Amino acid sequence: MHTVAILSPGDMGHAVGQLLREHELRVVTCLAGRSARTRALSEKAGIVDLSSMEEMVSQSDVILSITVSEVVPDVCRMVAGAMHATGAKPLFGDDR
């Protein structure tokens, strides 16, 4: 395992990403449509912003969904769509 994707690198997600980076893993995300605050937290943690969900999925060994409960179904649909489009099959985990 070399690359972990974090969805979403907000309050808790950026801290998880930073810890993974400290353990020499590459950490990526896709910040399309995210707030300036989330972008700043992600940058502070050294998380690489990729241009699309498909690019993020295709470059990841593991995807960690660290989001609020109400967006989990949408996040799962987006990740599944990107996996279908790219043929990539990273492990997927949600913090629920």
Domains defined for the chain, CATH in brackets: 3-94 (3.40.50.720)
Tell me the pLDDT of the chain averaged across its residues: 94
pTM score over 0.85:
yes
Q: What percentage of the chain exceeds 70 in pLDDT?
A: 99
Averaged pLDDT for residues 51-69 = 95
Distance, in Å, from the CA atom of 86 to the CA atom of 94, rounded to the nearest integer, reads 21
Q: Stretch 51-80: mean pLDDT, rounded?
A: 94
Q: Are 81 and 22 in contact (CB under 8 A)?
A: no
pLDDT digits (tens, 9 = 90+) for 11-49: 899 999 999 999 999 999 999 988 999 999 999 999 999
